Amino acid sequence: MIKISASLMCGNPLKLGEELRRLEEAKVDMIHCDIMDGVFVPNITLGIYMLKAFKEQTKIPLDVHLMVMNPDLFLEELAEIGVDFVTVHSETTLHLHRIIHKIKDLGMCVGVALNPSTPVENIKHVIKDIDLIIIMTVNPGFAGQAFIENTLEKITEVKKLLELKNVNAMIEVDGNINKTTIPRVINSGADVLVLGTSSIFKGPDTDYKEEVEQIRKYT
């Protein structure tokens, strides 16, 4: 069954508590939290300290997407907060195997994200150790960008690799996931959809519950 991870950075920054309550009512499966450092990506969004408040407010698993150059610095704190999934970008570390195992040892589920230009080959030798692969379908850093077509074949490539290695990890897609792209990413092998400004957060009056129900109908 396809899972929905709602990207909280796309919510109203003055009403994040209310956003969480509405997303809970809409029965999303995960809350996608984009953490940026202004170095790996040219933007700064949610901060680590905010995750603690989110965790106190909701029981929905937090799906933390670290877009930072030195992810190692934050892992203990993330574990203390009790976040559920921590995803690091393969481009941000020379020691991907080490960091994956550190996240696991701290008791969290672990994901690896790949930028649109990063080859699937980079995760081939660690794929058995991870729970989630985020295929970036836009360049990370900003909401509201255009979908990068070439990423579809990457999703298929990861799916094949998972089958070949007999691994159960989920494939999450992040960036411009909407009515048009959803059938295509699912056909290619996606299991988790990150929903941002292209779908549930497209306007202040969007009914999240209705939007999620609609998406569930055609997935």
What are the residues binding Zn ion (CB under 5 A)?
A: 34, 65, 174
Helix (H, G, I), strand (E, B) or coil at 141: coil
**How open is the CA angle 46-50-54, to the nearest 5 degrees?**
110
> Could you confirm whether 105 is annotated as catalytic?
no
**Binds ligand DX5 by CB under 6 A, chosen from 34, 131, 172, 191:** 34
Closest residue to Zn ion, judged by C-beta, is 65
- Return the one option of ligand DX5, Zn ion, none that residue 48 interacts with (CB less than 5 to 8 A, by type): none
The dihedral through the CA atoms of 86, 200, 10, 12 has a sign that is: negative
> Could you confirm whether 34 is annotated as catalytic?
yes
Burial 153-190 (b: 16+ CB within 10 A, else e): ebbbbbbebbeeeeeebbbbbbbbbbeebbebbbebbb
User: Is position 10 an interface residue for ligand DX5 (rule: CB under 6 A)?
Assistant: yes
Q: At what angle do helices 16-25 and 48-57 cross, to 10 degrees?
A: 50
User: Is position 32 an interface residue for ligand DX5 (rule: CB under 6 A)?
Assistant: yes
Nearer to ligand DX5, 111 or 196 (CB): 196
Letters for 75-104 (x = contact with ligand DX5 by CB under 6 A, - = none) are ------------------------------
Q: Which two tokens stand for residue 95?
A: 């020691």
- Of the candidates 60, 65, 69, 90, the one whose C-alpha atom is nearest the C-alpha of residue 78 is 65
Site for ligand DX5 (CB under 6 A): how many residues? 21
- Return the one option of Zn ion, ligand DX5, none that residue 198 interacts with (CB less than 5 to 8 A, by type): ligand DX5
Q: Facing residues of 6 across strands? A: 31, 195
Confirm or deny that 65 is annotated as ligand binding.
Answer: yes
User: Which residues sit in the known binding site for substrate?
Assistant: 7, 65, 141-144
Site residues (vs ligand DX5, CB under 6 A): 7, 9-10, 32, 34, 65, 138, 140-145, 174-177, 194, 196-198
- Name the residues annotated as catalytic: 34, 174
Residue ranges of the annotated binding site for a divalent metal cation are 32, 34, 65, 174
